[in-house]
Structure 1
């Protein structure tokens, strides 16, 4: 019986240690999904092999989300896609790379976790609770500063792009996304992690499984008015509650020009435009 009580006490202590000292997450901007959308065949009737190159630029903004705020960034991407022909025409491989830079401030988007009224007064000992430490730091001069950042990203995806009927586009792909960065923002996250103020989930570089799913429509007979596609992407980095995602809506004209808007983790709103070149 005593052994049972001892086990229960140990488990309770461990639970308190794990839940009472968890720091708020702070993510690398490289862990956001690449804004570059996947391109699709102009016509459902096309089954020949294709090689295409895309170039695009984008602008992103976050008001207050994922513990960052007042974020503004811009960048560009290039991509290469090879599509098989004949009976294997749905199969494709995409390789993309790009970079972006901008500035942001640290924020706290979780209600109740950054209540200024609950912070320690002058002379009081700073509590060990991770949320309170972060809330107190946000009130400091460093916590109110704006930080610059930059990241380089690479992505490799392979998947299937189906055209069931004359108008439908749907498919899925999987692969890996990599990122690298080293900036004032990354240095600040690293220092705060050392002080156990935040949990720096990503560090300055990383790689993770990436997946993409999409549904769209060819507009007009043989896609004569282009196509419009909604794409949902996920970066499976860290635990289930740490995965990032994005939702993009893209219109592509038969001439190869395309434009769209996205809603991403870390970068709440993105707008992008570019051109696809066929070979």
Structure 2
């Protein structure tokens, strides 16, 4: 185990009390427990308060455009499967504009972990309704309350073929560390939905609200997919590892012996003379 300070970077500029602080701490602890090498780790993020996390975590990091973190992470992992690729973002980034990429990275079972900081609101842009906001939720863009039912991101990922589904709470860093550690260790696509309160713009879904509206999974078989579907449709949020199954990863299928090689292993001609010749 390495010292957690290895992953320190810049001081976060999140609002005091933001749930994302807990996620950052849990991620650092999990990385330390696993002994992740910052030089062989890539943290890919999209847009939003939560997506600033790779500015605060010492590793390689790529800040992509809104909703495309999963697509970029796919390219990175397939180019060099030796890298530990982690995606992080918010509910707006993952479950709205990024929904199509979530579906396809899950069904492919790419060996990456996706941490979604779910605060049920758009925080960076100052409090608009998000895809996970509850029906009736009042914001500056829904003054009469939201008319839409919330998107259930973990349920969508499970239906799409994800082989690891878990939910944590940023107010319980000990359990969240264990969950993130297991997600990174898992061979295949792992989604970790984190209840991460926005203390500035969401005065409904607070730390106390999440404590009152969640429960710990006990005596649960994470290999039971049908039961996982039922749990993810509960009125309250189940905390823990909800589903886990070992299957062949997308990389293992693509890079079968004598079929394809990762880009990193290919001999690349860096000369530009041949390119020039095409335009002569």
TM over 0.5: same fold?
A: no
Structure with the largest fraction of strand: 1
Structure with the largest fraction of helix: 2
- Answer 1 or 2: higher relative contact order, Cα 8 Å, separation at least 6: 1
Give the TM-score taking structure 2 as reference length: 0.22
Give the TM-score taking structure 1 as reference length: 0.22
Give the greater-gyration-radius structure (CA): 1
